[in-house]
């Protein structure tokens, strides 16, 4: 069986031909390269014993080394700024930083809904404070996300990346809008526009969930 690897997201496909479209990142078949099965990093301990290795195997692994996907040659990091950027990508700064807003946002939305249902101003204030932390963390999340997209996925602009960007942009925009709205009018939840405010918040958490779900696809490749 032949083995193919997506050069954008590293998804592995087994079959006679590469898939027409990568099921993870959506690039077409031309972005797939054939690799040797032996070069797939395995989490399981290797089953082969040293005795079973034959001359043909060593030829095979030599071939694998040639076929193995090599990342495109990267320009050397020259400035301190570039070194920091590479370190951020290497140490997964995006998934790490994104857990701050993703952890706080559900609480914000639940508190706003409770404040609206039971007319408790304190809960709305707590939600607003949480939202301030979300807004503070978002620039770092967006920056590291863009960095990772450029450095790790070669700025590929397939549907899935567009969906992720749109979801992230909507999350950010709605978050800024509802926070500003609450700060301008702290009585919003007891006014006639409270329903719109709540719907916007639910939309925001939905977009954050979609962005997170797509991010998870890249991590888990399923
Ligand atoms: Zn892919």
Closest residue by Cα to residue 204 from 121, 101, 115: 101
Cα 207 to ligand 1 centroid, rounded to whole Å: 23
Q: Is 3 helix (H, G, I), strand (E, B) or coil?
A: strand
| Domain ranges, ordered by start, for the chain | 3-67, 80-220
The CB density around residue 82, as the number of other CB atoms within 10 Å, is: 12
Higher pLDDT, 11 or 68: 11
pTM for the model stands at 0.78
Cα 48 to ligand 1 centroid, rounded to whole Å: 30
- Does residue 88 carry a pLDDT above 80? yes
Cα 67 to ligand 1 centroid, rounded to whole Å: 18
**pLDDT tens column, 92-102:** 899 999 999 99
State the chain's mean pLDDT as an integer.
87
Q: Provide the angle, in degrees to the nearest 10, between the axes of the packed helices 93-118 and 194-220.
A: 150
Cα 50 to ligand 1 centroid, rounded to whole Å: 34
């Amino acid at each position: 069986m032949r083995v193919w690897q997506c050069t954008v997201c590293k998804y592995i496909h087994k079959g006679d031909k590469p898939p027409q479209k990568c099921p993870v990142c959506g690039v077409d078949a031309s972005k797939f390269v054939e690799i040797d099965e032996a070069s797939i990093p395995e989490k399981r301990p290797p089953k082969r014993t040293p005795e079973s290795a034959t001359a043909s195997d060593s030829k095979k692994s030599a071939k694998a080394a040639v076929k193995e996907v090599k990342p495109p040659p990267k320009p050397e990091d020259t400035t301190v700024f570039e070194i920091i950027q590479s370190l951020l990508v290497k140490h997964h700064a995006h998934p790490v930083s994104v857990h701050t807003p993703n952890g706080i946002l559900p609480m914000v939305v639940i508190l706003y809904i409770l404040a609206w249902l039971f007319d408790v101003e304190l809960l709305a204030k707590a939600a607003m404070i949480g939202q301030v932390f979300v807004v503070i963390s978002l620039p770092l999340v967006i920056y590291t996300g863009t960095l990772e997209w450029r450095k790790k996925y070669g700025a590929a602009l397939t549907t899935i990346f567009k969906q992720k960007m749109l979801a992230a942009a909507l999350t950010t925009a709605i978050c800024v809008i509802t926070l500003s709205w609450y700060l301008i009018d702290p009585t919003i939840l007891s006014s006639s526009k409270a329903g719109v405010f709540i719907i916007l918040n639910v939309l925001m958490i939905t977009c954050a969930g979609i962005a997170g779900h797509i991010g998870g696809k890249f991590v888990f490749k399923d």
